Chain A
Amino acid sequence: NAGVTQTPKFQVLKTGQSMTLQCAQDMNHNSMYWYRQDPGMGLRLIYYSASEGTTDKGEVPNGYNVSRLNKREFSLRLESAAPSQTSVYFCASLGSNYEQYFGPGTRLTVT
């Protein structure tokens, strides 16, 4: 099993550009999550999806949109990137024992 995969691994954007971060899991999990990790701030929840077709805001949703395309895939979109969105983004899914499994992360720099 690949577990949770994320693409791309690295990305550099200019202010105002848009991009979509992709996440997929092959563990047949219902719930999926997007977090961002910043130095000194820990990981913070951006959006989550409890099941296919549903999404909800987390702690820091402003500037982001998400799509739960199907049970496997959960994407995060930045419509107009800002330097404050420079961060490491992690996707996760929730197992049947309520353990979260994380992807390897996407390192995004906005200049």
Chain B
Amino acid sequence: KQEVTQIPAALSVPEGENLVLNCSFTDSAIYNLQWFRQDPGKGLTSLLLIQSSQREQTSGRLNASLDKSSGRSTLYIAASQPGDSATYLCAAGVSYSGGGADGLTFGKGTHLIIQP
């Protein structure tokens, strides 16, 4: 059974710092790795999607990497801003039956606070 772990569970840093959020997964047989942002009481906003054949994806100040062999993904946030404060979720795309896209296994998230 796939398990996804996110470290740290919570992080508080001053505005302007660069930071890294970590995600690890136990089964390398994933078809993609997706990073989401969730604001309090809100739904999930997709940030970056890395297909299993890719090594990284970038969007603005965000960069996500994927190393399937070691079971790790990282989300790098450059020049953090108070508006980046949210919970960040990592999810591994898994095929339960071997026949395709059957679902996502989520980590429990990293709660990020950027201090002004």
The finding on whether chains A and B are genuine partners in a shared complex, rather than unrelated, reads yes
Interface positions of A (Cβ within 8 A of B): 31, 33, 35, 40-45, 48, 50, 56, 58, 90, 92, 94, 97-105
A104-B43, A105-B43 in contact; A98/B32 too (CB < 8 A)? yes
Q: Which residue of A lies closest to B97 (CB)?
A: A56
Secondary structure dominating the interface of B: strand
3 closest Cβ pairs, A-B complex: A43-B106, A42-B108, A102-B44
Instruction: Choose one: A48, A92, A97, A105; the contact of B49 (CB below 8 Å).
Output: A97
A sample of 14 inter-chain contacts (CB < 8 A) reads A35-B104, A41-B108, A42-B4, A43-B89, A43-B91, A48-B102, A48-B103, A90-B44, A99-B34, A99-B46, A100-B46, A100-B104, A102-B46, A104-B42
Q: Could you tell me if A45 and B51 are in contact, using CB atoms closer than 8 angstroms?
A: no
Distance in Å from the Cβ of A89 to the closest Cβ of chain B?
11
Dominant secondary structure at the A interface: strand
| A-B interface pairs (CB < 8 A), number | 63
A40–B104 touching, CB < 8 Å: no
**Nearest-CB distance from A22 to chain B (Å)?**
16
Q: How large is the interface on B (under 10, 10 to 19, 20 to 34, 35 or more residues)?
A: 20 to 34
Query: For residue A30, which residue of chain B has the nearest CB?
Result: B101
> What 4 new A-B contacts, CB under 8 Å, besides A33-B103, A100-B104, A102-B43?
A43-B91, A58-B103, A98-B51, A101-B46
Contact: A42 with B102, CB < 8 Å? no
Shortest CB-to-CB span from A42 to chain B, Å, is: 4
Complexed CA–CA distance, A104 and B41 (Å): 9
For B99, list chain A residues within 8 Å (CB): 50
Taking CB atoms, residues of chain A closer than 8 Å to B49 are: 97-99
Q: Are B89 and A98 in contact (CB under 8 A)?
A: no
Bound together, the chains give a CA A48 to CA B91 distance in angstroms of: 16
Tell me, in angstroms, the Cα distance from A45 to B109 when the chains sit together: 16
- Asked if A90 and B43 sit within 8 Å, CB to CB, the answer is yes
CB-defined contacts of A98 to chain B, threshold 8 Å: 31-32, 49, 51, 93, 101
Known: A97-B49, A98-B31, A104-B42. A45 touches B103 (CB 8 A): yes
A50 touches B103 (CB 8 A): no
Residues on the B chain within 8 Å of A48, using CB: 102-103
